[in-house]
Structure 1
Amino acid sequence: MTNERMEPSSGDARVESLSAITLATRDMPRAVRFYEALGFRIVHGGASEAFTSFALGSSFLNLTTETHAPIHFWGRVIVYVSDVDAFYRQAQARGIEPQFAPRDAPWNERYFHLTDPDGHELSFARPL
């Protein structure tokens, strides 16, 4: 991968919006109580689940349970793209190797993950 700026061509898949930020927690019930106290509304999961999503307007704050101490997983940025599979192929063509091929999730998104050069996890997704 080079440092030169790559302009998308008209046929490329494009970034559309920031969908969600996912944060790691060691104590889901405590984290859910905290965000509910702030007025966040659960749309998926809950205190007894390993993954919980709160609605923030048209975006989401997700919590995922991390049982290893200390937390080595800071979280994940989720970006919506126009076409997940095309974006995956574009990343590969530009020398970026995602963690896995696009897949459908039980929370009704198609997605894949990749890690940036500093170790930050990025997820590229599209609602099903």
Structure 2
Amino acid sequence: MSELPSRLTAVTLGARDMPELRRFYRGLGWEELPSSDNNWAGFLLGGVLLALYPVEELSAEAANGAPAPAGWSGLTLICNVDRREQVDSAFAAAVAAGATAVEEPVDRSWGGRSAYIADPEGNRWEIAWAPGVQLDARGALIALGG
């Protein structure tokens, strides 16, 4: 292969407290892969793997041992929902599972509706509904726009 394929197969979050982060994502009702433990954990989400890996080990591999940034990294993960009203119910469910409310659900100037939460380690998630977004049966994004 002479080029990088245009695909995203996994997102890895460096975890400072693996047991707590695993507990949070299981608390959302997400099924953890059977091979998961406190050295590595995975959740298959609509065709993309959400991986959790101890931050020190991830830093050694991906950042030449540089320390992980404190606070928000500037990265936001997005979970699109099928209908506008699902933003509110998904937001409430995430907060009930232990997420921190960052921004309550609001209608956006771009025509959609979204809210922001943070997991126990501050990783930001946007829960969004956007006109024209099409998801397949797994929840994978298959089209964007009208």
- TM normalised by structure 2 equals 0.36
Hey, which of these two has a bigger chunk of strand by percent?
1
Hey, which of these two has a bigger chunk of helix by percent?
2
- TM normalised by structure 1 equals 0.40
More relative contact order, 1 or 2 (CA 8 Å, 6+ apart): 1
